[in-house]
Structure formats: structure tokens, C-alpha cells
Amino acid sequence: QEQLVESGGGLVKPGGSLRLACAASGFKFIDYNINWIRQAPGKGLEWLSYISPSGGAIFYADSVKGRFTISRDNSKNTVYLQMNSLRAEDTAVYYCARELRPYFEILTGFYVWGQGARVTVSS
């Protein structure tokens, strides 16, 4: 079964840091781009970041550029999101997701999603 599982969420004070992990199983991890998306309470979806299979291509949304860092460890089938200088507006459920097809086929939307990791930024 193709699966992504996020971990590392929690309560953090403004200005603090947190590292989320996204562990993959059931598919060939090195063949897929991975993305992070978040959803603030009662709000819509916000794409945050993308990493290619090799880690050679990385993109960020402007809202997190310079504060968040995406990385991956293909030996552990895991993608990370290091979040620094956290603000109240970063409070959200954070999802990792991968596309329907591997990177060498056509681009598609996000087919496999994790269950989400809740991050609360509050003093």
C-alpha cells in the first residue's frame, strides 16, 4: 500500500523551530517528487515546497522562503521540512504529498497524501 506518514508536529512558541518528517512506504521513493502543503484552520490549501527525487530541484512559496527548508534522505525514504522563525500564521495542518506518476512520466496532481501533522504556533 502506497503511504506517506507525517510526524514531528506540535506546539511551538513564536520564533521557534520544528522539523516535520514525511516517511514513505509501498512505492519506489526515489522515483517521485514530494511536496509539502498546509491548511490553516478553516482555510484552503496552500502549497509550500517541492523537492525532486535527487534533491537537485527545490522550490518554495514566497510565504516560507528563507524560513523553511525542504530536504530528503532517499536511504530512509523520508522527506523533511525544517521550519524556523515560526509565526502564528504558520499554524496549520501540514501535509506531504506525491504525484500520481513518477518524475520521468507526465506531471500530475498530488495523488498520495499523508494524514497531516498539526503545527500550532502560540505563546
Residues that bind other proteins (CB under 8 A): 35, 37, 44-47, 50, 59-62, 95, 97, 100, 106-111, 113-116
Burial label, 49 (beta-carbon count in 10 A; 0-12, 13-18, 19+): buried
**CB of residue 106 to other proteins, shortest distance in Å:** 7
Cell 512520466 maps to which residue?
105
Closest to other proteins by CB, 18 or 117 = 117
Are the C-beta atoms of residues 46 and 95 closer than 8 Å to each other? no
**CB of residue 92 to other proteins, shortest distance in Å:** 13
Closest to other proteins by CB, 112 or 121 = 112
Closest to other proteins by CB, 88 or 100 = 100
The number of residues making up the chain comes to 123
Strand-strand pairing, 117-121 and 10-12: parallel
Closest to other proteins by CB, 27 or 113 = 113
Are the C-beta atoms of residues 22 and 116 closer than 8 Å to each other? no
Give, as one character, the DSSP assignment of residue 29. G
**CB of residue 110 to other proteins, shortest distance in Å:** 6
